[in-house]
Amino acid sequence: MSPPPELSVVVPMYDEVAVVDRLVDAVVAELTSLGRSFELICVDDGSRDGTGERLEERAATLPVLVPLRLSRNFGKEAAMAAGLAAARGAAVILMDADLQHPPDLLPQMLARWDEGYDVVNAVKQDRGREGLLYGLAARLFNRLVGRAVDADLRRSSDYKLLDRQVVDVLNACEERNRFFRGLVAWLGFSVAEVPFVVAERAGGRTKWSTSQLVRYTISTLVSFSSLPLRAIAWLGFLTTAFALLLSIQTLWNWARGAAVDGFTTTILAILIMGGAILVCLGVIAAYLAAIYDEIKARPLFVVRSPRRSRAREAPTQTIQSSPAPSDSPAPGTSPGGR
Ligand code: UDP
Ligand code: MG
């Protein structure tokens, strides 16, 4: 196996055939001009548009390109985890495939790493173009999760440089419900920031549907904050206090013989309380589901081997997020091995 490169660039890709070539060319040009040794790990997250095939075509003539193909679409978080587990560099850079994370920022990020920082965050100068509702939801989400990890996530992005020691800790994190940005903020280490302006998507379209975003938001909130659970307790306290006051008033009225036949009130009270209890059960169920997911401890992602080397390797091989990258050469890399 060739000696590990100085840098690993990890790019999760899902149906990105429209931008693969531009991304690969831009990153290779940028890093070659800096004269640093590197590998470019493109994680094909179960694309159905030929992204994986295109990556393998390119890798045949471009040895620094390492296509890592997952067995199906596992989602961006799992794709990033797969790339991190396979990366061998002394520093790992994560970026999106759509060139919204400009490769010309790499020299600045590397300069900060050379200064001795362990984590270099590219932070959004502005948030690019996004809808009003989406923007509001994103802000609320970042505020809530940011409070849980005690960091400002409002301008943060997944465009990051991580030193090897940070990557090793991340690889050892076994949680399945991952929120990469939050996890990195939670880890600490010495952090530098480099501002950037979010570009328009270079091609293709965003992969997030509204329902996916809602699910992602809920699972992340659940994995980072117990605020919703505590809110239930507070709701219970408030309701009990209110009920106490109302009972006193009701008894007082009854003692005076002035009790009204409050049919409407009764119906309303039952409906409102019934609704509130069900919502609270829903919140508890979300935590229960998260615990269930963690306890099953299925692998975070499954890497599929390239067809040509099937005879030599197991058909599919699972990688937990835990093993150290050096002793777990990822299957699914270029056919000739590295
Ligand atoms: N992505 C992925 N798996 C998914 C969804 C997205 O690997 O299931 C990748 C996608 O190819 C891109 C990055 O995650 O490189 C960010 O996705 P996108 O640009 O669609 O999100 P946005 O920039 O709109 O937040
Ligand atoms: Mg994007």
- Kindly list the distances between the CA atom of residue 274 and the CA atoms of 232, 238, 240, 315, in Å, as whole numbers in the listed order: 14, 16, 15, 52
- Whether the per-residue pLDDT at 122 is higher than 60: the answer is yes
Residue 331: the pLDDT is 41
Mean pLDDT computed over 139-144: 76
Residue 94: the pLDDT is 95
The first and second tokens of residue 77, run together, are: 């978080």
Residues whose CB falls within 8 Å of the CB of residue 36, separated by 6 or more in sequence, listed in order: 6, 7, 110
- Which 3 state secondary structure label does DSSP give 328? coil
Q: To test the ligand 1 pocket, which listed residue (9, 11, 13, 14) has its Cβ within 8 A of the most ligand atoms?
A: 14
> What band does 311 get if pLDDT is binned at 50, 70 and 90?
very low
- Whether the per-residue pLDDT at 149 is higher than 80: the answer is no
- Whether the per-residue pLDDT at 328 is higher than 60: the answer is no
Q: Is 33 exposed, middle or buried (0-12, 13-18, 19+ CB in 10 A)?
A: exposed
- Whether the per-residue pLDDT at 317 is higher than 60: the answer is no
Q: To test the ligand 1 pocket, which listed residue (27, 76, 211, 301) has its Cβ within 8 A of the most ligand atoms?
A: 76
Mean pLDDT computed over 284-304: 89
8-62: per-residue pLDDT in tens? Answer: 999 999 988 889 999 999 999 998 898 889 999 999 998 998 898 999 888 889 8
Residue 321: the pLDDT is 46
- Whether the per-residue pLDDT at 183 is higher than 80: the answer is yes
Higher pLDDT, 79 or 334: 79
Strands 65-69 and 38-44: parallel
Residue 313: the pLDDT is 47
> What band does 141 get if pLDDT is binned at 50, 70 and 90?
confident
Instruction: Single out the residue of 79, 85, 77, 10 nearest to residue 324, CA to CA.
Output: 85
Residue 140: the pLDDT is 76
Mean pLDDT computed over 99-106: 89
Residue nearest atom 6 of ligand 1, based on CA coordinates: 76
Task: Calculate the average pLDDT of the chain.
Answer: 82
DSSP letter for 70, please: B
Residue 310: the pLDDT is 46
CATH superfamily of 7-132+151-204: Spore Coat Polysaccharide Biosynthesis Protein SpsA; Chain A (3.90.550.10)
Lowest mean pLDDT among 58-62, 290-294, 334-338: 334-338
In this structure, the number of other CB atoms found within 10 A of the CB of residue 117 comes to 18
CB 334 within 8 A of CB 66: yes
80 vs 77: CA distance, rounded Å: 5
Task: Please report how the helices 164-172 and 76-86 are oriented relative to each other, as an axis angle in degrees rounded to 10.
Answer: 120
Strand partners, 44: 13, 69
CB-based pocket (< 6 A), ligand 1: 12-14, 16, 45, 73, 75-76, 79, 96-98, 100, 206-208
Task: Tell me the whole-structure pTM to 2 decimals.
Answer: 0.75
Residue 207: the pLDDT is 73
CB 283 within 8 A of CB 303: no
